[in-house]
Amino acid sequence: MPTLLVTGANRGIGLELVRQYLDGGWNVVATCRKPEGADALNSLKDSAGGRLSIERMDVDNGAEVNAVAESLSGAPIDLLINNAGIIDNYGQGVAEGGDDPDLKNTDTDEWLGILKTNVVAPGRITGAFADNVAASEKKLVVMMTSGLGSIANTEQGGRYAYRTSKAALNMLTRNAGAWLGEREIIVISMAPGWTRTDLGGPSAPTSVEDAVAGMRAIFDKLTLADTGTYWNFDGQQLPW
């Protein structure tokens, strides 16, 4: 039975990934900062038949990452999804205003925090669980990025912290893909589209159910030749 490990699993896309993979018969390790407050996630345990493990892991907390990695030492992880992430003006949505193009108004402390969570943390986590992924059958690592991380497609100012963090995450995909490809591990960037979550906002056109279903269809068809690639949930490859 294959195993998924997903970060930021308490809500939104992370929660729907847990739900759909459990429905697909997988084992799931779901991580989040505060499991005791993750009511929707905890409610899935009763019907999971022991296939859902919920772990405390703030992706910015190295000690917590190492503790979970140690507890899973030797356990195969077929699919590792670095889903946890934050955005400027969190709660307003990626396209719900706040796109001030004037750099002097940018909160640089917030910018650094977003880079830490959206770039450094996925790198740390991928390194911590690389042996687990290598020991699995499917061997797939997913960096949850955004279409806003595409340099080729960006034509407006604003959202500097989020956009630069996702562009950097895409570079991490390319770099880590080159490293882990030697171990037959596939590493990709996946954009879930503009989706109705706390991050995406209420005006987003895509439901989390459709976004996750689209991503799963892509995951199922990937081969090692696809490592280091950048996908949209609808099956289209995106320009860097």
Residue predicted with more confidence, 199 or 151? 151
How far is 126 from 176, CA to CA, in rounded Å?
Answer: 8
Question: Could you report how far apart the first and last alpha carbons of the chain are, in Å?
Answer: 35
pLDDT band at 46 (very low <50, low <70, confident <90, very high): confident
State the helix-helix crossing angle for 121-134 and 160-181, rounded to 10 degrees: 30
The pLDDT value given to residue 203: 77
Chain-centroid distance, C-alpha 200: 14
What does the pLDDT look like over 56-70, one tens digit per residue? 999 999 999 999 999
pLDDT at position 91 over 50:
no
The pLDDT value given to residue 97: 54
What does the pLDDT look like over 96-131, one tens digit per residue? 555 788 898 889 999 999 999 999 999 999 999 999
pLDDT band at 94 (very low <50, low <70, confident <90, very high): low
Residues 157, 111 contacting (CB under 8 angstroms)? no
Output the 3-class SS for 16-47: HHHHHHHHCCCEEEEEECCHHHCHHHHCCCCC
E strands in the chain: 3-6, 27-32, 52-56, 79-82, 140-144, 186-191, 229-232
Beta bridge partners of 206: 195
What does the pLDDT look like over 126-177, one tens digit per residue? 999 999 999 999 999 999 999 999 999 887 788 899 999 999 999 999 999 9
CA dihedral 56, 3, 128, 38 (to 10 degrees): -20
- 43-57, 60-74, 83-97, 104-118: least confidently modelled range: 83-97
**Range 1-9 average pLDDT:** 97
pLDDT at position 88 over 80:
no
What is the share, in percent, of the chain residues with pLDDT greater than 70? 96
Q: Which residue has the tokens 């205003």?
A: 97
Residue predicted with more confidence, 127 or 95? 127
CA distances from 163 to 17, 135, 136, 179, 232 (A): 23, 33, 32, 25, 16
The pLDDT value given to residue 102: 87
The pLDDT value given to residue 109: 95
The pLDDT value given to residue 93: 52
What letter does residue 185 receive in the DSSP assignment? -
How far is 78 from 69, CA to CA, in rounded Å?
Answer: 15
